[in-house]
A and B are shown apart, each in its own frame.
Chain A
Amino acid sequence: MLTNGGKALMKNLEAEGVEILFGLPGGAILPAYDPLIDSSMRHILVRHEQGAGHMAEGYAHATGKPGVAMVTSGPAATNMVTPLADAMLDSVPLVCITGQVASGAIGSDAFQECDTTGITMAVTKHNFLVTEASEIPQVIHDAFHIATTGRPGPVLVDIPKDLVDPNNPASQFDDYEPTGHDLPGYNPIIEPDPEKVREAAELILQSERPVIYSGGGILKARAASQLRELAEMLDIHVVTTLMNRGGFPDDHPLALGMPGMHGNFTAVTALQEADLLITLGARFDDRVTGRLDGFAPDAKIIHADIDPAEFNKVRFANVAIQGDVGKTINELIAALKQLQQTKQHPDRSEWKSTISGWKERFPLVYDEWEMGEGLKPQYVIEQLRDLTPDDTIVTSGVGQHQMWASQFWHFNHPYTWINSGGLGTMGFAVPAAIGAKAGVPDRMVWAIDGDGCFQMTNQELVTARIENLPVKIAILNNGYLGMVRQWQELFYDERYSEVHLKPDLPDYKLLAEAMGCVGIRVEAPEEVQPAIEQANEIDDRPVVIDFRTEASENVYPMVPAGKSNSDVIVHPSQETS
């Protein structure tokens, strides 16, 4: 049966199971928006293409399904570069459809032409420029396959306008259903090598001071329950990186929380003093390792990852296991059970009591609020945490508020924490929250945002209101680009350069109201709880709470850039003289 490119695009997106598209039309993608009217897919019309990209990411993080965005050529495609880069660094499965100028105009500097595949080559797992309409079904099928298998990531499909234009004879072709993939260079290895697994099991049984260093790969592989089984079976503590908050329950006795630059003391120091790191779906990011030559100096490394390029990239792996991390953990459990019949691990009671000692001595703390100060941001987060359901989804921007959110929330379920870890994209929180809410409408979704971040993407609250996606936004409004201010205070002699924002400009309450949301301002500690309760009650529109927080507050602990994790700075009240 004869079809055309535009119809085929819709049909094949549906065939891939796409339920929601985030996008915004324009000239080059116009013909594809016409058959959309007859499609079963929901389209969420954004106010800026970057918003569509982050919504698709939020959707993917929350649901595990690929997020899909569709935008036009030129400036729309360049607006998509940030979310693509974000998805690339955080391994988020994303498929982005971009319109392109008509085939015959490519290369002529046509109106709204840009070299989309050239520009996005470095920020996608792969991209395609469609050259014939009949390729569309296969390319869409391949795009979803590449985005969702192996190490997930963003895939972009650039489609020239004429190939989806029903009036163009060249857009007509005999319809077909794509079967399989002709991708001879793409064969992700899923099954771990039993020999390596056995070596890893041996190392684990030999070690005296092991720690499980778990990363975002656990969530991507949907392996949180396997991780828990392994940790409990071995009785080994677990650190969860910023990308794996929720991948191991914070309320578990073996949980150490987040490591890294603003990780808690015990997580940072346990990695540092360990003799074995059981690294599962983590990649030794510089924000975790601190100065590399001082990182975990006595530790042997087991490194399990789906992407072999992570092995030995940053830190030498004594045992590297390529494969799906969930399968790897299952195999590891089996191998350990077998080995344990004849072998015993050394006594680890001293290591365990050392860890409990750290936990007791260096909990996360902050100064008590004093009269005349702004709200303590940590207090606001604790209140939010305690007043919302345990399975609330939390998104965040990038900065101090992000670190406090990761530190002070208790993530007890996977897929409850959604943030921009690798790229550190300010403006992520609001659209990611909207995307998450679209994916799991029954769950409460809170964005914990900074005032700086909020000003980058807040216009998507209009989208949220119109599309009936009642997300809730907590702005920790310290009137500063706070994280940068903190660095200037600590490392630039308190010389503050271009970091001051105005806490009351914009008027966040009015701004929220102008966008059809409920706006609430909170200035005093006793107003915090009632405001959150009020927000939790509202389910017919988004809510924005402008929490006026203390500008001078700093995030602790902190490992200064370029310093070793052994030089972690704790909260001033915990310093030993």
Chain B
Amino acid sequence: MTRDEIKDKVTEFLTRSMRSKELGENENIMELGLVHSLFMIQLIMFIEKNFHIEIDDEDLDLEQIGTVRDIVSLIERNQQSGVSL
């Protein structure tokens, strides 16, 4: 999957999960106050289902994955080095 394809999927997931209309690549969902209590487990399910990788625990820190760009990088990193499901 190309970076743009990953980005599209991530953006679609985030806007659906947050019920937000638009989300720029660098907009921080924490700062926008969009994160709800079930977001993290939705994100884990989303990544594992769509990209067939198990993200390393170290990388699942909300403070480090606040933007579309952060999440795309996380997926790219784990696609190269992470555990395949």
Q: Is A bound to B?
A: no
Residues of B that sit less than 8 Å from A by CB: none
Residues of A that sit less than 8 Å from B by CB: none
